Amino acid sequence: MTIEKFIKRNRRNIQGIISRFADEETSKDIEQEVYIKMWRFSAHKKPFGYIKTLVVNTCKDFIKSKYNKCSRLNTSDDEELILIRDNHETPLQKTESLFRQKTIADAINRLPHKLKEVIILYDIEDLDQNKIAQKLNCPIGTVKSRLFKARKLLQVELKEFIEGESL
């Protein structure tokens, strides 16, 4: 598939991800940066999960650089030192986050294939239920019931994990 076709097919998904991180004007700049990176790394030939990661990381990089540029322009060195906040995760926070992600991913991977398929398409790839029904060639009611069953199974399997985090 050419990059043009890929962009045409996935533009709304990419814009949706970017809109979670930035305002409308900034989103356009980030979107352009994403497309440049996709072209440079031939990312349009890779799975959409790879693209999603590329988009999120580009958003984070852009926000960091924008924050740094603004803080340098608007403050003196002394004021900047006072205003600096540690927005980075501590090693413990990073470890906990990775553990949480791995635990959830493992729980999803243990789901029956049809349930796993629907939960990934809906919650990870951000497809709506109608598109999932079309993609899987099944009624929307089937998609809804599989999504419900998958979430119930995940809730049961991750119960102790979820309760441990709320303490």
Q: Where are the domains of the chain?
A: 3-83, 91-165
- Tell me what pLDDT residue 130 has: 92
User: What fold, for 91-165?
Assistant: Arc Repressor Mutant, subunit A (1.10.10)
The mean of the pLDDT values for the chain is: 78
User: What fold, for 3-83?
Assistant: Rna Polymerase Sigma Factor; Chain: A (1.10.1740)
Report pTM: 0.46
Q: What average pLDDT score do residues 107-128 get?
A: 88
Q: Following DSSP, what letter does each residue of 23-74 receive, concatenated?
A: -HHHHHHHHHHHHHHHHHHTGGGS-HHHHHHHHHHHHHHHHHHHHHHHHHHH
State yes or no: pLDDT of 111 exceeds 60: yes
User: Phi, psi at residue 74, to the nearest 5°?
Assistant: -100, -5
Query: Do residues 115 and 150 touch, judged by C-beta distance below 8 A?
Result: yes
Query: Do residues 80 and 71 touch, judged by C-beta distance below 8 A?
Result: yes
Percent of the residues in the chain that have a pLDDT greater than 70, as a whole number? 78
Long-range contacts of 87-91 (CB under 8 A, 24+ apart): none
Query: Do residues 40 and 75 touch, judged by C-beta distance below 8 A?
Result: no
Q: What average pLDDT score do residues 124-146 get?
A: 91
Compute CA 77 distance to the chain's CA centroid, rounded to the nearest angstrom: 35
- Tell me what pLDDT residue 89 has: 62
Residue 112 pLDDT level (bands cut at 50, 70, 90)? very high
Q: How far apart are CA 111 and CA 8, in angstroms?
A: 32
3-class DSSP state for residue 127? coil
